[in-house]
Amino acid sequence: MKPTLFVLAAGMGSRYGGLKQLDGLGPNGETIMDYSIFDAIRGGFGKLVFVIRKDFENDFRNKIISKYENHIPVELVFQSIDDLPAGFTCPEGRTKPWGTNHAVLMGKDVIKEPFAVINADDFYGRDSFAVLGKALSEMDGKKNDYCMVGYRVGNTLSESGSVARGICGTNEGGYLTTVVERTEIMRVNGPVCYKDEKGEWVAIEDNTPVSMNMWGFTPDYFKYSEDYFVEFLKENRENLKAEYYIPLMVNKLINDGTARVKVLDTTAKWFGVTYAADRQSVVDKIQALVDAGEYPAKLF
């Protein structure tokens, strides 16, 4: 059974207004997401599932899905802030979605095989999909054994300012021990540093693994996520900004000893449009990959 690629695209409309981050950056107007899907197909993935907001379904079907349909089966699921477990209602005044792991939960009825989770607007690179596709193809029928792609932090920085990344701790076996979200990471006089709780810069090695929200799960993950979401809501229902993130769930499963997560190394260089000033550099990097023969000039 081929793994499924689950693309988190529900944030799309809100951040840029409409589908602006489907900005054409490739030589023939390709979006960052087009490259992910092209890489996933050649990495052995067999199905695409997108989670989006219901209000731009038509736009999404016309502009996005029509491109991929002849290449790979595609399904759509929808994230809504009212989609909550029995007994819970959305608190008055909440407009913010419930976070990435709530988005993952939306796939529970259509995904029955090992699956990868990625962001729609990150350029992950060919090697990462090859590495993750291979790992997922070996996870069929397994439980409680997950994986994530650990990027080397030095390969994930922006030239335009600091970035937020989940810094990963691993044990001798290469399994994840913690993911700590650091909101300011950049080079400071040479070394890569993050700003700690006291506002001080802490230097880390260039090869330190970080999470770029590229995970590999088996379907048992959905049940854990449903159960823990109830606990999360009990604690946070009045907090209008609280979000149910994937690392929150993963950390709980690791700390409870329920599951383990193998950190897969990749040589891929991440890039994305974190700042408006990054756009031209992304266009240039994609063009360089096309010139080097990594991608055809026209993808789909």
pLDDT digits (tens, 9 = 90+) for 131-141: 999 999 999 99
Q: 3-class secondary structure for the chain?
A: CCCEEEEECCCHHHHHCCCCCCCCCCCCCCCHHHHHHHHHHHCCCCEEEEEECHHHHHHHHHHHHHHHCCCCCEEEEECCCCCCCCCCCCCCCCCCCCCHHHHHHCCCCCCCCCEEEEECCEECCHHHHHHHHHHHHCCCCCCCEEEEEEEEHHHCCECCECEEEEEEEECCCCEEEEEEEEEEEEECCCCEEEECCCCCEEEECCCCEEEEEEEEECCHHHHHHHHHHHHHHHHHCCCCCCCCCHHHHHHHHHHCCCCEEEEEEECCCCEECCCHHHHHHHHHHHHHHHHCCCCCCCCC
pLDDT digits (tens, 9 = 90+) for 16-27: 445 555 678 899
pLDDT for 13? 52
pLDDT for 16? 46
pLDDT for 28? 93
Residues of the chain with pLDDT under 70: 12-22
pLDDT for 59? 83
